[in-house]
A and B are shown apart, each in its own frame.
Chain A
Amino acid sequence: MKMISSLFIPILVLVVIIYGAYKKVNVYDSFVSGAKEGLPMVSSMFFSLLAMIFGVNIFLKSGVIDYFFDFLKPILVFINIPLEVLPIAIMRPLSGSFGLALLNDMYKVYGPDSFISVLASVIQGSSDTTLYVITLYFGTVGIKKIKYALWAGLLTDLFMVIIALILVPLFF
């Protein structure tokens, strides 16, 4: 698996360049003019990302999440859900690096092969940072009305966590 992943980029680049040369495209000029689009793209994403990182950071540091956990605890204990994975499950749509930091802590405490760690890894790995994806993609092309995109994304994330809670125990 890792082999495929590490060979994928070199082979892709090579195929594209050789095919371009075979079709008599000036690959160098083509690369440069394509790469030039990077700057306007990055400058149009910067401001929407700034806004979102600003909001998310204040929220993350505020500790509101901890109060929320305390509130949810009795319910989760009642339906037998491991409490340790809750922070990762809730933070996943908001911040990717936050989830990774939490995962790092869990590996340290429980070991990477424990049930809790595997469950958390699967939750982290089976989804993407919904809020970041929405901000980045819609912000860059200038979409203001996102309609039901956020709700559909978050609902899918919730569904993913439920499926993970049901399926991951079957692998042990």
Chain B
Amino acid sequence: MINKLWIGLIVVGSLCLILTGKADLLNTQILSSGKATLELVMQIFPLISLWLGIMNIAKESGLLDKVSKLIYPLLHKIFPEIPKGHESLGYISSNIIANMFGLGNAATPFGLKAMKSLQSLNKNKEEASRSMITFLIINTCGLCIIPTTIISLRILYDSKDPSFIVIPCVIISFISLVFGLIIDRLWSRRHYK
């Protein structure tokens, strides 16, 4: 799927640029992607390491287990395949909590750890498991209570009420999360039997 999408993006984009006589722009785009990626990765690398360090303390002290036991009844309904007490539950809940507080930089390493431990439960290592897709849907919904970047942008432009968007954002992302989980459940019935 990603393969076809990638081909589409590049072929359609390149042809359009060449046909409209903007081959120069295409050249700079091709060459600058590497730099753009490196800059992005360099920005998140130290933060990922930092949070992985903190996370490791929480794991070794048993705090992560406690959190995952606490949240297990709820998560079990969403992720029926994850056995009780599995470490992925702790990472999944940390990822969701960090997302809710608008801490995208902390949510990413927790999410990656969650994916890695879901991979350890996965039978076919090249194929996404059902729990992985469910976890992904939760992340694409951006369940965010405090959209920090947007609020600071609103403050920058002298908004009368910068946090006005919080309530509609929470309601709408929650509704779309529920919708996402329902589609995911329906779709997974067809794929995993």
Q: A38-B49, A59-B13 are in contact. Are A130 and B140 (CB under 8 A)?
A: yes
> Quick one: which of A55, A135, A168 has the most chain B CB within 10 A?
A55
**Complexed CA–CA distance, A155 and B49 (Å):** 33
Q: A61-B13, A113-B164, A152-B180 are in contact. Are A137 and B136 (CB under 8 A)?
A: yes
**Complexed CA–CA distance, A62 and B8 (Å):** 13
Q: A42-B41, A61-B17 are in contact. Are A103 and B150 (CB under 8 A)?
A: yes
Q: Are B12 and A57 in contact (CB under 8 A)?
A: no
Would you give the shortest CB distance from A78 to chain B, in whole angstroms?
24
How many interface residues does chain A have, given as a range?
Answer: 35 or more
Question: Is B89 positioned at the interface, with any CB of A under 8 Å from its CB?
Answer: no
- Interface of chain A, helix or strand or loop or mixed? helix
Question: Is A81 positioned at the interface, with any CB of B under 8 Å from its CB?
Answer: no
Q: Are B176 and A25 in contact (CB under 8 A)?
A: no
Q: Are A118 and B172 in contact (CB under 8 A)?
A: no
Question: Is B75 positioned at the interface, with any CB of A under 8 Å from its CB?
Answer: no
Number of residue pairs spanning A and B whose beta carbons lie under 8 angstroms apart: 325
Would you give the shortest CB distance from A65 to chain B, in whole angstroms?
10
- For window 117-172 of chain A, which residues contact chain B by CB distance below 8 Å? 118, 121-122, 124-131, 133-138, 140-153, 155-157, 159-160, 163-164, 167-168, 171
Point out the residue from B46, B106, B154, B184 that lies within 8 Å of A121, measured CB to CB. B154
- For window 130-186 of chain B, which residues contact chain A by CB distance below 8 Å? 132-133, 135-137, 139-142, 144-151, 153-154, 156-169, 171-173, 175-177, 179-180, 183-184
**Complexed CA–CA distance, A51 and B147 (Å):** 28
Question: Is A86 positioned at the interface, with any CB of B under 8 Å from its CB?
Answer: no
Q: Are B37 and A46 in contact (CB under 8 A)?
A: yes
Residue of A nearest to B144 (CB): A125
Question: Is B109 positioned at the interface, with any CB of A under 8 Å from its CB?
Answer: yes
Q: Are A143 and B132 in contact (CB under 8 A)?
A: yes
Q: Are A133 and B140 in contact (CB under 8 A)?
A: yes
**Complexed CA–CA distance, A27 and B55 (Å):** 11
Residues of B within 8 A of A163 (CB): 172, 175-176
Residue of B nearest to A97 (CB): B40
Residues of A within 8 A of B1 (CB): 146-147, 149-151
Point out the residue from B30, B112, B159 that lies within 8 Å of A54, measured CB to CB. B30
Q: Are B165 and A121 in contact (CB under 8 A)?
A: yes
18 residue pairs A–B, Cβ–Cβ below 8 Å: A16-B63, A19-B58, A19-B61, A30-B60, A32-B53, A34-B52, A41-B48, A49-B37, A57-B36, A58-B26, A62-B16, A63-B20, A107-B153, A122-B169, A143-B126, A145-B127, A151-B1, A156-B176
Other than the given A149-B1, A160-B176, 16 more pairs (CB < 8 A) read A20-B63, A32-B53, A41-B48, A46-B37, A50-B33, A113-B164, A125-B173, A127-B141, A134-B2, A142-B119, A145-B126, A150-B2, A153-B140, A156-B179, A167-B172, A171-B167
